[in-house]
Amino acid sequence: MRKLTAFIALGAAFAAAPSHAADPITGRWVTPEKDSVITISKCGASYCGKLSKYLVPPEGGVDQRDVNNPNANLRKRKLLGISLLTGFKAEKDRWRGKIYDPRNGKTYKSFLKRKSTGVLEVKGCVGPFCQSQNWTRAK
C-alpha cells in the first residue's frame, strides 16, 4: 500500500510540474506599422488570425482587394476578414503555422511566441532565414 501511495504522490508531482507549453496567442493584435488589427482565434483543430480592422485605411480603401494573390480567382476578395495566419498549432514553447503577406501575395512558414502579456513575436521564414516583428495587444 505504501508503494502505491508513493507512486500516486510521484505521479501528482509530475502532473504539477511546470510545462513548457506554448503560451496562448488568442486575442486582438496590432501590427508594428499600427495600420491594422489581427484577431487570432480557434479555427477547427488549429488557430488562425484574420485581418479584422484597419487602423489606417489602405490605398484601395476599406474595400481593398487581394490583388497580389497568385491565385487569380482570389484577387477580387476583400482583404478585410481574410485569414493571414493559418494552421497554427502549439509546438513546445511556440506556435507553428503559415502566414500570408497580401503585400506580395506570398505565404511563408511562420512561428508565433508570446514575449509578454502584451507582445506577440511573429516570424516569417523562407528556408532557414526568418524575419521577426512584434505585435502588441490591441486595447
Q: What is the pLDDT of residues 90-114, one digit of tens each?
A: 999 999 999 999 999 999 999 999 9
How many residues are recorded in the chain?
139
Judge whether 68 and 83 are in contact, CB under 8 Å. no
Q: With a cut of 90, say whether residue 13 has pLDDT above it.
A: no
pTM of the model: 0.82
Per-residue pLDDT at 69: 97
* Joined grid coordinates for residue 131: 524575419
Q: What is the pLDDT of residues 19-68, one digit of tens each?
A: 456 889 999 999 999 999 999 999 999 999 999 999 999 988 999 999 99
